[in-house]
């Protein structure tokens, strides 16, 4: 997986399943500054829809989404 944007924090959710990746993403995005990027790596099949929906609902932006076999990588930009 390529590194296009520098993340302020990386969250490894491999092996964790719904709803844990969503809970940890919510908690960790609050710990970075507006404008910074949270990188989330997960293999939870539900995370693709959950994290995209969370970002949109919370007013954040999914800058990048990559899927490589069963692993997914999200770069989520924290907005105000």
- Positions marked active-site: 18
What whole-number distance in Å separates Cα of residue 75 and Cα of residue 58?
15
Q: Judge contact between 38 and 15, C-beta under 8 A.
A: no
CB 31 within 8 A of CB 9: yes
Cβ atoms of 64 and 36 within 8 Å: the answer is no
């Amino acid at each position: 997986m390529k590194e296009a944007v520098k993340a302020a924090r990386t969250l490894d959710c491999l092996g964790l399943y719904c709803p844990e990746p969503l809970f940890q993403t919510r908690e960790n995005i609050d710990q970075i500054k507006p404008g910074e990027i949270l990188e989330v790596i997960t293999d939870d099949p539900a995370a693709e829809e959950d994290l995209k929906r969370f970002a949109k609902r919370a007013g954040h932006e999914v800058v990048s989404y990559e899927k490589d076999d069963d692993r997914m990588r999200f770069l989520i930009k924290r907005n105000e």
